[in-house]
Amino acid sequence: MSHDLPTITTPDGQRVFACVPAAVLVFIVNEDERILMLSNPKSGGRWEVINGALEHGETLLEGCLRETREEAGPNVRVRPLSLLHVYSFPYAENIPHMLSICYLFAYEGGEVIPGDDMAGSAVRWASVDEIASGAVEVLVPRYVPWLFERAIELYRMLADRPPAIHQPPMEYMSRRKYPK
């Protein structure tokens, strides 16, 4: 399948890489094995995990933490556990492939007060059963109910472990010397 999408080529011209927009989805699970969900008044009562576009210069972890602050408020404390899943989907006519990079975080405390991006939103902790039955109508991520089950399964495996090791900030990475 051919698309007129931007690419970037290595300086030696040997490799061409796709330039694909990316979003992070943050599954925050509490000790009762419920997932933090927000419902923006504009969403018609549907619920979503914390999510948003990755910004220029951010690592994946930095994007997840920024979105968590923006949507759940600055008082929420989380501990990164693992990458949960990655998938692509058609976002718009001119963006036929957008990456959704899903992370799993353990809730460590702090009051959830929807921030600027989700001001006026309702907040709830939803069980997998509520999501699977449709009692909690999910807007983001759409069409992947099994992903919530996977989040809980992985949470059970990793909840007692220390935070996951993630890459350092991009400034550090950019000082590396790359082979020519």
49-106 confidence digits (pLDDT tens): 999 999 998 989 999 999 999 999 999 999 999 999 999 888 888 888 889 999 999 9
Domain boundaries 17-161, CATH class:
alpha beta
User: Structural domain boundaries of the chain?
Assistant: 17-161
Whether pTM exceeds 0.85:
yes
CA 87 from chain center: how many Å? 11
Structure confidence by residue, pLDDT tens digits, 128-174: 999 999 999 999 998 888 999 999 999 999 999 877 666 555 555 55
